[in-house]
Amino acid sequence: MSDTNHAAAGGAAHGHDEKYYIKIWGILCVLLVVSILGPELGNFYVMLVTAFGIAFVKAYLVAKHFMHLDTEKPVVWYMLTCCLAFMVLFFAAVSPDVMNHEGRRWVNVSAIRETERALEAAKAAGQHEGSTEHGGGEAAPAGGGH
């Protein structure tokens, strides 16, 4: 296969050459470093922006440039946006029930019982809520008293 045929078959698809992809890869690497270092600053809002905001930007860059969505018909972008909106709506609707044990008109009795059982088991094993150790050396030996 000649170089011209290779380029037409996908070697430099959509008019992008290797330098273009290396540039996008470099931007993704820089964003990765920023998203790792951002939470280390200790500020909650900086952490949210660097962790989630940059993740959305990286996902957009990958979808647009490496999945070639920039050359697709607009209907593909509309479908992608609708799916993302429904996913966010689903999470927003379900998360209050999943993340809490009680609501205005409901109580998750099983979750409350399981939490209480786990706390009692931790106390019985010698672990205390304020302890920094995980029971290492505080629990009594299991086979009797030597």
Q: What does the domain layout of the chain look like in residue ranges?
A: 1-71, 73-128
pLDDT at 22 > cutoff 70: yes
DSSP H/E element including 38:
none
Q: Looking at 13-17, 115-119, 123-127, which range is the least confident one?
A: 13-17
Check whether 30 has a pLDDT greater than 90.
yes
pTM: 0.47
Q: What is the CA radius of gyration of the chain?
A: 26
